[in-house]
Amino acid sequence: MSDSSAPPFGEEGAYELFRRGTGLLGSGDFGAATVSLERARALEPDKSSIREALGRAYFSLGRFTAAAEEFAAIVDRHPVDDFALFCLGRSLEKSGRTQEARPHLALAACLRPERADYRAYRDRLRAA
């Protein structure tokens, strides 16, 4: 007897795709991670956890514009998510959009003043 709650063969749900994608991300296989995570995002576009993992994968691949889009989607829904703000700022900076990056890095540092990494990137952009 088969488990009727399991997706049909080849039709994984967003959670399974997310789990696979984050596993690949954790093992450093960023390109493969994007495949699963893009499929998960297509199924659940409003899930911040999926978009964050996909943004991290894109960032690790040097796809900074794509990463910025993922982190911006999170910030749009959760404007005080310090990690998404920080990652959005870093992605914008790496895309050459320094002016746009500054407020995101500043806000992340204000939200989590104990994070030395947030402060360091904020201060570096202030000095630039």
Q: How far apart are CA 81 and CA 43, in angstroms?
A: 23
Query: Which of 70, 12, 5 is CA-nearest to residue 36?
Result: 12
Topology of domain 1-61 in CATH is 1.25.40
Task: Decide if 1-61 and 63-128 have a common fold.
Answer: yes
Per-residue model confidence (pLDDT) at position 8: 44
97-100, long-range: CB within 8 Å, 24+ apart, which pairs? Answer: 97/68, 98/125, 98/128
Which residue type is seen at 81? D
Residue boundaries of the structural domains of the chain: 1-61, 63-128
pLDDT by residue, tens only, the chain of 128 residues: 344 444 443 578 999 999 999 999 999 999 999 999 999 999 999 999 999 999 999 999 999 999 999 999 999 999 999 999 999 999 999 999 999 999 999 999 999 999 999 999 999 999 98
User: What is the structure's pLDDT at 90?
Assistant: 98
pTM equals 0.90
Fold of 63-128: 1.25.40
